């Protein structure tokens, strides 16, 4: 029996061979990566009109259009870009792509490959299909954008070639790039060039007059308003602060503000020039004067502890209640010292705020002044506790439950109680990276307040960022501060030993083997005679194994790992047993004993399978570490299979590992997988593909400032790529 049905099949039932011709699925919505600007746009009619004309020129001729917008920081380039994109959105049915190139600069260079990968993913290309090489990604980008009528926006361009690098394919597409200064070659390149300077008197007056009650004050003193605009360099952020002051302070008049600023230094040309000057302080003083006690307390606390971008929860922690935090944030927003931001897709979806650029400098100065006149306070302790909770949740989102030194201080686990706001390892790593710059100051405060356990937990919660993203500097700085404190203050047995092990691991990864050996010997002496610290001793033996591998002695590394595994087995810790077995397999591979490596790896993989089978409903905090271990084993298996010349199976395992590492944000491990795939491609004689994998690995290593980037670069040069 064979039946066909056309149309609505919702109520049709047939037992055999039914062919239903339904409408094809809807194509995915075009990407739109340009977020709405949170502040009111200053009406720059000429540049906005010229950009719109460019789009119409492209539609008429069928040719792509390129514009470069130059101007100092704070002048309104981003706001112009967003206003243009939103006003002309219907003319870009293919969507809009956006990149801030400063977020992709490493070691002075631009990671063009990473920007293109983000664009390709947004255009609907599966991550596994994205080419490995920069040239392959550029070709794919050209192909996918040809005749698409797409807008591409790139900010903070520093060289002409960076503009051309992201030009979409042929057709009526538009590329808009911004930069802080005119670039050599751009005027002669044929692209449209727009210079943005500070607002002129008329536009500056219009911006001030947008603020309700301020309009009358502007009209009452037109000449003074023109001079006021000039004193602020025509910068919209400074003028908004002035407008906020005039709006909230009903008694203030334009001449009052003018006199205040005339005595505060020279006129300014951009936020870069404004930073650190008396004019900055004078403009921010007016905004600051509008704050109540809670707003002022929050502003100073954020200057001392907060990153420039922060979630609402930090304000709640500073002031002790959600209501007080929200009210203070409202004050800061009304004063134009901070503003609400759109959530990044890699971050937990919570309300986030950021300092206006010029206010960040001022808040840090006020934090220093505030600290000189304040002793221990509930505020400082609440801030420390907030960082402790936030970092503990992020740590567990990446690595799950693991053996932590903080448990020896009876603090481990309490900070991470409740629902974890970070759903994926990528979200956890993103939050760790966002909060890391403030951690040394937070650790100092914790130690000053006698919150030793909290300081230890904060420091070791950074470990996923240090180990996976190679943020060695902030990790080493925070660890050294806690270790230095411990020299003069008694801490429970084992805590200092674990801190030494963390520091030794950083030294090993940096190739500094002598200090690593000294730290590990000190840690072993503290741990070997205490039967309560057998698992911590296993961690020390793991460190010693890594040191032996770095010294070129895989045999000793395997012996140390097996001793560590025995300690985990005695303690009933299956994940520790699996981890040391996997690491032993890696060491045996380095020693050339493929058969023994396969046996170790098979045993480790069986432990992982057993755990997942027995724990199907385990919470995320338990699953994360096991899942990462499983992916690491797949890459190790790929290496084993290569040694056994089972290349097809090896490629499947390595490609799967690479994709999983990439999706979870483990970029250094992704680079390791790229190198395995490069070796496999080379064995097949596919030298172009090999070079592509190597370039991607080099770019990933370089993004994390790792010496392997130079090693891979030398390899590419030797192979003529």
Where does residue 419 fall: left (phi above 0), alpha (psi -120 to 50 degrees), or beta otherwise? beta
210-231: pLDDT as tens digits: 888 899 999 999 999 999 988 8
- According to the model, what pLDDT value does residue 410 have? 63
Question: pLDDT-derived band of residue 662, with 50, 70 and 90 as boundaries?
Answer: confident
Quote the pTM value.
0.70
As a whole number of angstroms, the distance between CA 177 and CA 167 comes to 10
Pairing of strands 96-100, 105-106: unpaired
**Which residues, including other chains, have CB under 8 Å from residue 78's CB and lie 6 or more apart?**
37, 155, 178
Q: How confident is the model at residue 46 (pLDDT cuts 50, 70, 90)?
A: confident
In angstroms, rounded to a whole number, what is the distance separating the alpha carbons of residues 173 and 280? 41
Residue among 483, 549, 371, 345 at smallest CA distance from 427: 345
Nearest to 95 by CA among 158, 22, 149: 149
Strands 352-355 and 309-311: antiparallel
pLDDT score for 269 = 45
Residue 376 pLDDT grade (very low, low, confident, very high; cuts 50, 70, 90):
very low
Q: Which residues contact 198 (CB under 8 A, 6 or more apart)?
A: 72, 75, 204, 229, 232, 233, 234, 235, 269
Say how far apart CA 259 and CA 709 lie, in whole Å. 56
With beta carbons less than 8 A apart as the criterion, state whether 41 and 75 touch: no
What's the chain's average pLDDT? 83
CB 625 within 8 A of CB 592: no
Confidence of residue 261 (pLDDT cuts 50, 70, 90): confident
CA distance 251 to 249: 6
Give the helix, strand, coil percentages of the chain, each rounded to 5. Answer: 65, 5, 30
**For position 266, what pLDDT does the model report?**
52
**Average pLDDT of the segment spanning 410-436:** 75
**Cβ-contact 672, 635 below 8 angstroms:** yes
pLDDT of residue 370: 63
Sign, Cα dihedral of 327, 333, 339, 341:
positive
Tens of pLDDT, residue by residue over 687-696, are 888 988 898 8
Angular region, 28: left φ>0, alpha ψ -120 to 50, beta rest? beta
> What span, in angstroms and rounded, lies between the C-alpha atoms of 178 and 72?
10
Query: Strand pairing partners for 69?
Result: 178, 194
Cα 666 to Cα 509: distance, rounded to the nearest angstrom = 16
* CB atoms inside a 10 Å sphere around CB 10: 5
Give the Å distances, CA to CA, from 500 to 179, 503, 505: 45, 5, 9
CA dist list (Å): 59 to 56, 580, 609: 5, 62, 57
Q: How far, in Å, CA of 230 to CA of 119, rounded?
A: 40
Q: Residue 271: pLDDT band by 50, 70, 90 thresholds?
A: very low
Determine the Cα–Cα distance for residues 598 and 577; give it in Å rounded to an integer. Answer: 16
pLDDT at residue 415, as a whole number: 54
**Tell me, what's the pLDDT at 79?**
84
Please state, for a pLDDT cut of 90, what percent of the chain lies above it: 38
On whether the CB atoms of residues 127 and 121 are closer than 8 A, the answer is yes
Q: Is the pLDDT of residue 281 over 60?
A: yes
Residues 511-520: what's their mean pLDDT? 94
Cα(first)–Cα(last) distance of the chain, in Å? 61
pLDDT exceeds 80 at position 504:
yes
DSSP letter assigned to residue 249: -
Q: Please tell me the distance from the alpha carbon of residue 178 to that of residue 176, in angstroms, as a whole number.
A: 7
Contacts of 18 (CB under 8 A, 6+ apart): 3, 5, 12
Label residue 314 exposed, middle or buried (CB < 10 Å: 0-12, 13-18, 19+).
Answer: buried
pLDDT tens across 103-120, in order?
A: 777 555 787 887 888 888
420 — pLDDT class (breaks 50, 70, 90): confident
Task: Find out whether 205 and 225 touch, Cβ atoms under 8 Å.
Answer: yes
Q: Which long-range contacts (CB under 8 A, 24 or more apart) does 162-165 make?
A: 162/101, 162/110, 162/112, 163/66, 163/68, 163/189, 163/191, 165/110, 165/112, 165/138
Asked if pLDDT for residue 339 goes beyond 70, the answer is yes
Q: Exposure string (b/e) for 393-428, b if CB count within 10 Å is 16 or more?
A: bbbbbbbbbbbbbbbbbebbeebbeeebbbebbbbb
**What's residue 612's pLDDT?**
94
Supply the pLDDT for residue 530: 85
- According to the model, what pLDDT value does residue 417 have? 61
């Amino acid at each position: 029996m064979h039946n066909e049905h056309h149309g609505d099949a919702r109520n049709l039932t047939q037992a055999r061979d039914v062919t239903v011709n339904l409408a094809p699925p809807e194509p995915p919505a075009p990407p739109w990566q340009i977020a709405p600007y949170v502040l009111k746009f200053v009406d720059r009619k000429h540049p906005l009109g010229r950009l719109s004309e460019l789009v119409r020129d492209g539609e008429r001729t069928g040719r792509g259009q390129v514009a470069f917008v130059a101007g100092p920081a704070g002048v309104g380039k981003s706001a112009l870009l967003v206003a243009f994109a939103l006003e002309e959105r219907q003319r870009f049915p293919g969507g809009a792509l956006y990149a801030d190139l400063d977020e992709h600069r490493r070691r002075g260079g631009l990671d063009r490959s990473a920007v293109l990968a983000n664009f390709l993913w947004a255009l609907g290309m599966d991550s596994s299909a994205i080419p490995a090489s920069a040239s392959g990604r550029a070709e794919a980008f050209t192909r996918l954008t040809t005749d698409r009528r797409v807008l591409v926006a790139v900010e903070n361009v520093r060289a002409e070639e960076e503009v051309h690098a992201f030009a979409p394919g042929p057709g009526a597409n538009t590329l808009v790039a911004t930069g802080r200064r005119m670039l050599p070659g751009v005027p002669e390149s044929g692209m449209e060039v727009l210079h943005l300077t500070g607002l002129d008197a008329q536009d500056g007056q219009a911006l001030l007059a947008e603020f309700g009650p301020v309009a009358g004050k502007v009209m009452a003193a037109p000449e003074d308003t023109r001079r006021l605009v000039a004193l602020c360099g025509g910068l919209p952020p400074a003028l908004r602060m002035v407008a906020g002051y005039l709006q909230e302070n009903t008694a203030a008049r334009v001449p009052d503000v003018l006199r205040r600023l005339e005595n505060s230094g020279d006129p300014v040309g951009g936020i870069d020039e404004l930073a650190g000057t008396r004019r900055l302080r004078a403009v921010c003083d007016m905004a600051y004067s509008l704050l109540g006690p809670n707003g002022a307390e929050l502003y100073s606390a954020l200057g001392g502890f907060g990153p420039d971008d922060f979630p609402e929860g930090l304000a709640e922690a500073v002031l002790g209640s959600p209501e007080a935090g929200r009210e203070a944030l409202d004050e800061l927003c009304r004063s134009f010292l901070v503003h609400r931001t759109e959530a990044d897709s890699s971050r937990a979806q919570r309300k986030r705020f950021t300092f206006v650029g010029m206010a960040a400098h001022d808040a840090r100065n006020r934090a220093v002044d505030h600290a000189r006149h304040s002793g221990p306070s509930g505020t400082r302790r609440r801030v420390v506790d907030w960082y402790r909770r936030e970092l503990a949740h992020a740590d567990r989102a990446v690595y799950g439950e693991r053996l932590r030194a903080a448990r020896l201080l009876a603090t481990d686990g309490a900070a991470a109680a409740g629902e974890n706001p970070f759903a994926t390892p990528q979200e956890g790593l993103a939050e760790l990276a966002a909060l890391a710059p403030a951690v040394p100051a937070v650790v100092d405060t914790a130690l000053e307040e006698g919150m030793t356990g909290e300081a230890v937990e904060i420091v070791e919660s950074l470990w996923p960022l240090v180990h996976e993203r190679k943020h060695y500097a902030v990790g080493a700085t925070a660890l050294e501060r806690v270790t230095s404190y411990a020299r003069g203050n008694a801490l429970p047995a084992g805590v200092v030993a674990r801190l030494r092990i963390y520091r030794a691991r950083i030294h090993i990864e940096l190739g500094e083997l002598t200090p690593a050996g000294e730290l590990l010997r000190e840690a072993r002496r503290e741990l070997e005679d205490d039967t309560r610290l057998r698992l911590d001793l296993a961690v020390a033996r793991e460190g010693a194994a890594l040191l032996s591998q770095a010294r070129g002695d895989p045999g000793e590394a395997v012996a140390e790992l097996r001793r560590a595994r025995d300690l985990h087995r005695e303690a009933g810790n299956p994940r520790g047993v699996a981890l040391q077995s996997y690491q032993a397999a890696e060491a045996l591979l380095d020693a050339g004993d493929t058969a023994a490596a396969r046996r170790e790896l098979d045993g480790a993989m069986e432990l992982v399978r057993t755990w997942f089978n027995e724990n199907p409903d385990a919470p995320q905090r338990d699953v994360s570490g096991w899942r990462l271990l499983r992916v690491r084993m797949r890459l190790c298996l790929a290496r084993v299979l290569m040694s056994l010349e089972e290349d097809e199976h090896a490629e499947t395992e390595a490609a799967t590992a690479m994709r999983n590492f990439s999706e979870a944000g483990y970029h250094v491990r992704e680079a390791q997988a790229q190198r395995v795939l490069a070796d496999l491609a080379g064995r097949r004689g596919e030298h172009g593909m090999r070079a592509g994998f190597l370039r991607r690995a080099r770019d990933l290593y370089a993004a994390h400032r790792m010496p392997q980037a130079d090693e891979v670069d030398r390899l590419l040069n030797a192979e003529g790529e």
